Every structure is written in structure tokens, then in C-alpha cells.
Structure 1
């Protein structure tokens, strides 16, 4: 469609150009007329008597409004729609620290989707993946961003009305940064800085300068979360035991002094104050009481309440009440559950998001954002965040959001079909897993990586039609490739994953049963499946690789290559061992003789409604993987 846009548009022209291909329109003097008015108040889009109108307050509101106008023009020629923003700021945090570091093109793709949705905040989470010239080993071989790369993205975001904010760490979560010898004098434990050490603050001043230099915004997220061993490493040796509240506050004051010198406005994660106040170290302990004298000592800093876990509004209301005792205007961070394993957990993401955002509206919270972590290797592709982003966007402009509205907006804003994306939820919401997978089971991950001969999770899935479940996913995922234009790489990857799991999920169980019964025909049938499975795994690896390189830098892929390589080699070893037995049944395969126990480790959760979950190194072997 060709549009003639007139009025308050001087600051919008570049952003309009960025979105013209995304929304399939062009600009010209002979186009359909739309007048644009910038004024305080809600978003308003109209069309009547051959004339369009868009009224907006913030730049981001215009881009959402433009999308709304185009969407409704397709449906009806006359309309009048008003939307009232529920939050001043709403957006996402992009994890660039757990191996998947988005390219500038990858970030810009997300920024365009955000603009059409109406999301105006993008945090880039970089523990050590940004350039610090004074410390050449900082982010070495980790795909770190150059100053120029971040500036390119920040410019692009500003043109779309999106504020980009650096998010770094200034206390804990610095394991990768502190593994080098340059940090010996200011390292407390392997992942925590040495509080109170002057060299620590020299280091922090340097990295904060580098982290913030490419950004327009003077806001910065300085982390401070999950410092569980604070003061218990080198600090303890040097100073003896000190009250950890005091250590935290003194360290935070020193960091705030740096940010004030640099004219920055910092925010931190709030959890350490709550954990230290809890008798059991629980962030969400509703009985925790932070002493009044500690509250008075907390420096002037914004606090971010993060919570990805709860489905009851009342829980969020209680936690927000507790946060408001510390700061007047807390920020809320939810989660899109891209870190469940190799597939997204949309069930939990949607349930927690809806409860959280409704509670935040009741409390008048002004700023919210959604995290998209990539824990344990960033196996889940970044494209899977789009449905969760859309949910955040619709709750940002509506009190309630129904499934039909969400699906319709998703199709317009992204060009994709929501029902096809929701197919991915079935990779972990399998038979034996409760609706919405609230216990975070991740069978697609443990069934992909677990060893055929050892089968640590075989007992967990025994009796459930898991292979059949994955087989039923293959055709719908194949069909989705043709319905979602440039998402064919994503759906091809998941189609190949479903194909592999439809064979591998129960193969270890079948092989053990056949071996236990000395059934050579059945063992031979399993052996033939092993041979074809190895070929299918290689197809899966190539599909995953192509998808990864479409949005990410190469650094970090080597980890997944090693995982696939290990899987392929172990399948080959299983073929060899089984063939030895087929040639001579007196040969023992001791792994198959071992009794299968229910895997109930510390990360698996034994509750009914889950098959378990775990991290890669606890899935592939019970031997020491690395020490």
C-alpha cells in the first residue's frame, strides 16, 4: 500500500523507512492520505471519508499506531480506535552472555518487531560481551560487541522510539570475566568481585565507562543479583566474617559513587536484599523482614523486582508491597521462558506474565520488561521470544488480552501464525507433564542429549507414549514452514528435532528390554534404528547450525557443535557395542544390565506433573564431566 503521511512527522521519517518493508507499504505524494498529530494523550487511529489520522504522544506510540491503522484498514475502511498505554516503559532484556550473541542484524530484527508492537525499552545484557580496551581478555573469544556495533544498534533503536540500556554486572555473575589472571587481586570467589578492594573499583569504573559509552541513555543496569557467596571467599580470608547486608550496602555505595561521577542513573536487581533478610535465603520469602536501619542505608538506586515463577496475582501484590518499603517506584522484570531447554515454555511464560502484569497495573508500576535468558548454552532460538513479546505489548496497551486478539495482533505485527509457534510448547509439555508445564520439565532436552546405553531418564518416561507424541508433531511443523514466510529455518529445525525424538526418546528403553530378554531380532531392529538415527541427528545439527548463524555471531556455537558431536559419537559407540553382542551373545553390555532408577536430582523436581529437568552435564553422564 502507498501512503501519503503529513503533519508531525519530521522525527518519524527514518523509523517509517525502517518499517516500510516490515509492514509492506511505501510513501509517496500520490498515496492514501494520513494526517499525523503529536499531542499528549492516548493513541488514536481513525479512518473516515477517505482520510486517515494518527494521534500519538511518544515516538513509539506512533509506530504501534501506524501498525494498528494498516491492520484495521485491511479489515474495514472506516474505524476509530483508542488505546491507553498502561505503562510508561515496556520492553525486553536480550541475553548476550550465555553463548548466543546476536549480530547487529539480529538485534535490529527484534527492534523492528518491538516498534510495531509498541515496546520502547531494550536492555542488552552483557556480563563480559562488550569491548573494554584496557582489559583485552575481557570477553575474549566470546563474541563481545565492539563500541561501533552497539552504537549502530542504539542509533537504530532511537530512530524507532526505543531506549536501549546497557545491563552489566558489578558484583556477581562474572565467572567468565574473572577467570583470567588480570582479576587475581580483585576476585572474591570465581564469580564475585572482592568488595572493599580499591582495585575492584578501578576495574568497575573502567568497565562502566566502556559499557555506557555507545549508548544515548544515561541509565544503566548494574546487576548485583545472586551474589550467594558474597564475603565468603577471599574477602573472608582478609577481613573475617562481616554482616553481609553491610558488605552489600558498602559495595553498592562505592559503585553508585562511580555512576554519579559519570552522570548515570543506575538500577539493580533487588533479590540480594530479600535473600539476606530471609532465614532460608529465599528471594520470595513473604516472611522476610529487611531491618529498618538497613533500608535507610540503601543508596539512591532503582530496584528491579524479577519474578518468572508465580501464577497468582496475590503473590506479586505481596512482593510489590515489600518492594515499595525499599523504593517508591520499583521496576518489574518477568520472563519469557526461553531458557527451559531446547524449546520455549510458553505455558509458564503466559501464565506468569498475565498474573504479574495485572498485579503491576494495580500497583501503578510504571516500568516493566521481559527477560529472555539463554541458560545452559542458549539452545532455544531467539525467534521463539516473539509470542511473549506480543503478550507484553498487548498488556501494555490493554487491561485484558484475549487469545483471539493476541493471535490477530501477532499475525499482523510479525507476519507469523501464533498457533504454529505454540506447537513448540509441545516439545516439553508431553504426556506425563502438567498443563502449562509449571514445574519446568524439559524432556526435549534430556531426551535429545541423554546417552542411549546409560539412559538416565528412561525410568522417568517409562509407560508414557513419548515417541508417539513427537511423531505427531512432525507434520504440523513441516506445514508451518510454508505458512510463516521467513521462519522456515526455525520450523525446519524443530521439525528435525521432532523427527529425532520420535525415534530416540524410547529407543534406549526398547534396547534394554530386548537385551534383557536376549531377543536378537529385537536387538537387531534397535541396531538398525541407531544407524538411521545417527543420520537424522546430523541433519538436526545442520538445521540448528543454519538457524544459529542466521541471527548470532559464531562464538558459542562451538559448544553446541561439541554436544552434537558427543551425541553422534555415543550413538556410533552404541552401534558398535550392540553389534559385538549380536556377533557374540556372550559379550556383556554392562550399561544395559544396570537397573534403571528414577532420576530425581536436585534440578529435576519429583512432583507429579513433571518428567524432570536438568542441565547438559547432568543429562549425558553420571560420571564427573568436568572438574
Structure 2
């Protein structure tokens, strides 16, 4: 520990000042923990570069990074002053090296709460019981835990000021983050997310990457997609290990490879648009490269190899070359070959389980009840392969329990994947997550499942503001450790301490998704097919009232985080869009020319301004959390929306000056049959046939 001197000369270690200092808060703790980095000399008074040591070293310019070997002088806060700033501290000798690394990493992200000098000492009492207890005494906080994950959650409870007694029901608990649907998160953002997950009690993280990794010898993997390099993944793996988190690759080795297979160089490995060609040598040469890459990238000896939703397996080029073959035979033969590749590289595979069930019924219904898989099929599954039962939809524990037993009939213990509802949403739906994940967690606990994780998909463009998922993750982890799902007071205190946000406000912000904000936002303003369906269901009045309440709540807050600012602007934009559509149809149907002119000259310009405001905020958040690749997809949608509102304004003015005798799109909306109105809410594609993504 450095002595309470007023000034120090600090030398930036060799290896590059910029890279060293961009680790945000890390450096300051390493500084105090390693006195060899500090060279005591009288203050010279010289002007020097400044490094980003944040709160513990007073810096004039936190964005001016020093070059390697630069000496500079700054006033250092003494340990006595540090003690006044931190609530908790730890003594190195009290903890194992793994536990020390966890504490040091958490301290880097919570510098005002935790350091090696502070007010209350953190004490760990190890137990063999599956429990987690946190208690507070005058001068210490005691965590009683038997696993690294429980200790990390206990540390989160301490930082939250929570006295708790919880149950440890799972060996592995965590998340799967989708990094394939446009948004590829930066390593820094993933690290921040993993720290918070660890403090919630999670110890498993999967990165879903279809083609978003840079595969040696395969230049189209990750090209213009923000693919992760080997070095990035290894860095993230080391960081996760320091938190006690197992980082597992989650890739695809059969279907969902559209982004790669569209390139002509993969023609021989392609069966259909997104499915690999079974039995083709080129297919297994490619898969061998994939497995080899991930074996080197991550320390875990497990890998999720996907193989879900290959609905058209064997029905493309394979059918042309070899004729029809039973899908189950094709699937099992392919699985055996990929399993052999994994074994050769020292990895144990996990697969999504749905294809076994889909291929056993003509409807390809994964969740068909009373469906039995034949003994012949079950025996052909390699014993090394673990099945992963995924289900994000059912709301009763009995269904999950029955499905788990069906998976156990294969002869091995399945993993279970529930869902945190980020896909197709701008804001994570905590309500939908609670409806589906809580019964799944309870069923897993009841049936003795030991490994459970929550998927965070990014279907349709990855436009969710992903910090919103942390509130749902806090809920899921809390329930997994035995908390009641409606204990909002507990979740609010923990969420405020660990994420710095209001849990109830995050839950309220999910109001956006009660009527599919993404569908309404990008609904064509002239055709209005989505809003037509919403109007038919008579859900818009209630939705607008809830948006108004959300806006009132958000506007009442003096300060909002960037993502909540985006929610505020989006809510106002949605309200304006809905009101314009209603006024437009009403004015047109009754021939109110003055009202139509007001819409064209006053209302539409206001909406265009709000679209621009939303686009700027969304861009800022994207670039704060993810690589730039993929942003263009959302920007094109927003730009297309602007173009269509300009077209609406132009059409209205042409109608008003007599150039257009009528507006065909509005006539079609007003004359739409009930059957059309009922299905208008489904925005899978624009009616002209142009897909959104």
C-alpha cells in the first residue's frame, strides 16, 4: 500500500500507455496493490501527460492517454482519504487467489464502494451447505457461501446492503448473448455486463456467434460484421475466469448460416440457403476450422454447436444430388461427424434439442405433447453430446417438468435455456420474462436440473437497448436463488446498487412493448398496415394512455441515463405517429381539407424532427455498446421512415392542390375488409414483398 505522501511520480509501464490506461478503473487498484509501480521523488512541478486513473488520482484530462514510459506528476489521495470514500474493504490474506481476483475486478467497477481500505471488512465463511447468507456487524460484512458464484452474489448483496439467506440450487446459472443479429457487442461492454451478472450470482456466459468471429483462412467470416478476433475472445475469457464465469462458445454447425452461405465460395458446403450440406467434405473441413478456433479461443472444454431449426435439412442441393433421405438419419449422421471433430479438439459438445422432436412429427412442432422419440434414434445420439432444452414461451411449470423428463429419456442430463425477452423489442420485456422464466426456474429446481441459462436473442436487427435486460436478469437470478418473483423491493435495492438505475422505472419502460413498438415505429405511414391491425383489436387507446403515463414518469426525472432518454424520445414519437394516423384517416374520410393541410405543414415536420432525435440517440447508444457494423440496417429503416413521411406530406399537398384526385393508400385502408384488418398487425414483411431485414 502506498504511504500517505502528498505527491508521487508515476511511471507508465512498458507495453503501451494507451492500452494500459484505457482499462478505465483497473489501473488505480493495480497502482495501490503494486508499490513497485510507484517511484517516490520530490514533485518537480513539470507539466506532464495525464492518465485515466479516475477518482483516486486527480486528473485534469481523462481522455489524454500517455505514451509508454512517460513520467508525470499528480497529487494522490492518501489511504486515509480513500477510506472515507469506500464502504467496504478486504484483506488479501483472507481470500484465495481466485477470490482476490474477483474482489479486485469488482473494485475496479465499483471504486466508491469497495477497495483494500474502507469502513467495513468483508469476511468470507465457507460452507458445504447449499446456502448463501450475508450479515452485517459493526465493523464487518460476513458472506457465508460454498461456491464462487454464491460468494460473488453475496458480494453483490453486501454492496446492496442486503442481509440475506438464499438457496444455491444450480451449478451453472447464466446467460447467452446474441452477437449475430447486427449487434456485435464490444469487449468492454461485455466485461461490464459480466461483472454485474457475477454480482447477481451468474457463472456461465455463452456468446452466440453464427459468423461473427474471424476464422483463419475464411475471409468472409466476420467480414463487415464486426467479427471477434482470437485475441479479443481470449481477453474476454481471461476476464470472465477472474469473475468465476465459464465462457462458452455458442456457434452453428448445421443451420442458421445464411450470412456465410450466401457467398459463392461456400457453394459446395451449402444444402439450402442457411443449412450446411451433410456428408460433403467441404462442410467438415469448415467445421473443423470452427471447432479448432474456439478450442484455442476459450479455456472451457465445452462448446455449444447449435444445430437448431434446420427445417429444410436435406431438401436443397442434397436432394438434387442424392435424392430424398429421412431427416433423422441425416441429422444423426451429421451429429456423429461433428461430435468426432469436437472430440479431436478436446471439446464436449452441447446442442439445441429441437430437431429430434421436430423430425418426429410432420408439423415439426418442438413442443408437441405426448411426442415420443424412438429408442433407435435415442441410441444413435453420441454419449458425449449434451442436449439443451430451450423454451421461452410456456407459462406453467408442469409443461417444463414434463419436457425435462422427455429430454432425460435420452440418457443424459439436459441443460435448460429460458429466455430474457430482448428480441423484437426496443426494451426488454420484464413482464414477459417473468411470465415464462419464473415457471421454468421453478420447474428446474423441482426436477433437479443443475444447469440453467437465459438467452438474450437479437432477432430482426438487435435493436434492443440491452442494459434493460439487466433488470430482467436481476429478477431471474433472484428467483433462481430463492427470492419471490414479486419481491420488487429487494430487486429495486439490488438493481440500484449494482446497476445505478431504478428497477421499477425499467419495468415501466417495458410499456413500449405492450403493442410492439418496433412494428409501430417502422409501419409505413401511408399504408399503415400495423396500426390498422392495432385499431381493429381496439388496443391503441389503452396503449396511448400507458405511453402518456410513461412519458410523465420519465419527464419527472431530472436526470436520465442515455438509454432511458432514448425511451423517452421513442415513446413521444410513437404517440405522435399513432395520433397522426388516426387524424389522417378521419380527416380524409370526411374531406376536411384544413385538417389535412395542418397535418402536412405542422404535424409531419414535428414527427420528422422526432425521428431524427431518436436516430441520433439510438446511434449514440449503439456505438457505446457495440461495434459499428450492423448499425446501418437500423439507420436504413429510420431513413426509410423519413422518406415515407416526406412522401406522405408530398401526397397530401398534391391532393390538396388537385394534382391527385384521391390517395389510393388511404382509400385501401378505409375499405379494408375485416379479415385484412385482423391480419394487418403481423409485420413479417411489407405488403409489397420487401422484407425488413
- What's the CA shift for 1:21? 4.9
Q: For residue 240 of structure 1, report the CA deviation from its aligned partner.
A: 1.1
Q: Which moved more, 1:107-116 or 1:81-90?
A: 81-90
Q: 1:414 to 1:450 in 2, by over 3 A?
A: same
* CA shift for structure 1 position 266: 0.7
In the alignment, what sits opposite 1:59?
148
Residue number among 81, 98, 118 corresponding to 1:11 in the alignment: 98
Tell me the equivalent position of 2:527.
Answer: 454
CA distance in 2, matches of 1:163, 1:621: 45
Q: 1:472 aligns with which of 549, 558, 564?
A: 549
Shift of 1:625: 4.9
TM-score under structure 1 length normalisation? 0.90
Q: Which residue of 1 aligns with 2:666?
A: 592
Which structure exhibits the higher relative contact order, with contacts defined as CA atoms closer than 8 Å and separated by 6 or more residues?
A: 1
SS of 1:407's equivalent?
helix
Alignment equivalent of 1:310, drawn from 375, 389, 394 = 394
Q: Which residue of 1 aligns with 2:683?
A: 614
Aligned twin of 2:322 = 239
In structure 1, the residue matched to 2:158 is 69
Matched, 1:50 2:139: yes
Contact 2:654–2:660, Cα closer than 8 Å, also in 1: no
Alignment deviations for residues 498-527 of structure 1 (CA, whole Å, 9 cap, x no partner):
111111113123212212222111111221
Q: Does 1:260 align with 2:307?
A: no
Distance 1:21 1:230, change over 3 A: same
Within-5 A mapping of 1:292-441 = 292-300=375-383, 301-398=385-482, 400-404=484-488, 405-429=490-514
Cα RMSD, aligned residues only:
2.2
What is the deviation of 1:479?
A: 3.7
Aligned partners of 1:458 and 1:506 also within 8 Å = no
User: Contact between 1:457 and 1:599, CA under 8 Å: does it hold in 2?
Assistant: no
| Number of matched pairs | 596
- The separation in 2 between residues aligned to 1:25 and 1:33, in whole angstroms, is 12
Gaps of 5+ in 2: 1-86
Query: Which residue in the other structure is 2:113 paired with?
Result: 25
More displaced 10-residue stretch of structure 1: 19-28 or 200-209? 19-28
State the alpha-carbon separation in 2 of the partners of residues 586 and 411 from structure 1. Answer: 57
| Mean Cα deviation higher: 25-34 or 249-258 | 25-34
Range that drifts further, 103-112 or 446-455:
446-455
Tell me the distance in 2 between the aligned counterparts of 1:625 and 1:165.
33
Kindly tell me: are residues 69 and 467 of structure 1, through their superposed partners in 2, closer, same or farther at Cα, counting changes over 3 Å?
A: closer
Going from structure 1 to structure 2, the CA distance change for 1:480 and 1:106 (only over 3 Å counts) comes to farther
Q: Which residue in the other structure is 2:186 paired with?
A: 103
Correspondences of 1:155-304 after superposition (within 5 Å): 155-300=238-383, 301-304=385-388
Q: Residues of 2 paired with 1:131 and 1:481: CA distance?
A: 44
How far apart, in 1, do the equivalents of 2:137 and 2:265 lie?
Answer: 66
Quickly say closer, same or farther: Cα 1:625–1:216, change in 2 above 3 A: closer
Do 1:303 and 1:327's aligned partners in 2 also have CA atoms closer than 8 Å? no
C-alpha distance in structure 1 between counterparts of 2:204 and 2:156, whole Å: 18
Contact between 1:599 and 1:612, CA under 8 Å: does it hold in 2? no
Q: Which has the larger radius of gyration?
A: 2
Aligned-pair CA distance for 1:403: 2.5
Aligned to 1:437: none
Does residue 545 of structure 1 match 2:628?
Answer: no
Q: How far is 1:389 from its partner?
A: 0.9
- Whether 1:36 and 2:124 are equivalent positions in the alignment is yes
Aligned-pair CA distance for 1:338: 0.6
Query: Normalising by structure 2, what TM-score?
Result: 0.82
Contact 1:307 1:333 (C-alpha < 8 Å) held by counterparts: yes
Distance 1:50 1:313 in 2: 43
Q: Which moved more, 1:575-584 or 1:406-415?
A: 406-415
1-side partners of 2:295 and 2:285: how far apart? 16
Q: 1:244 to 1:427 in 2, by over 3 A?
A: same
Map of 2:65 onto structure 1: none
Q: Indicate the residue corresponding to 2:171 in structure 1.
A: 88
Q: Choose 178-187 or 365-374, whichever is displaced more.
A: 178-187
